[in-house]
Amino acid sequence: MNIIVRLLVSAAVVYGLAYLLKGIHIDSYWTALVFSIVLALVNFFIKPLLVIFTIPLTILTLGLFLFIINALMILLAAKLVNGIAIDGFWWALLFGFLLSIVSSLLLSGKNG
């Protein structure tokens, strides 16, 4: 049940951020929900491999390279879902940063 709540909150945040950021375009809430599911799957299967392969670069940049990996995961998920468009890497970086912050703030009360 917790994963369903997390996906619904994530989809709401994705949809809200698309409304606020002019570089992110989403057709509907259902598209945002599908995007959230695909992003969760990409983060579960592909992101750990990228993190392991880029450990030296992550250490060299004091962890800032993880933001780059997050943006790449968002761009990949956007390519896999019809109905969402991200205008470039920098929009994906900002979108990922805000998505992480807002989702964490909204879901922080659910863990305690």
CB atoms within 10 A of CB 61: 13
85 is written with which tokens?
A: 């468009």
The pLDDT of residue 5 = 92
Q: pTM of the prediction?
A: 0.93
Amino acid at 3: I
Indicate left, alpha or beta for 28 from its phi (over 0: left) and psi (-120 to 50: alpha): beta
pLDDT in tens, the chain (112 residues): 799 999 999 999 999 999 999 999 999 999 999 999 999 999 999 999 999 999 999 999 999 999 999 999 999 999 999 999 999 999 999 999 999 999 999 988 755 5
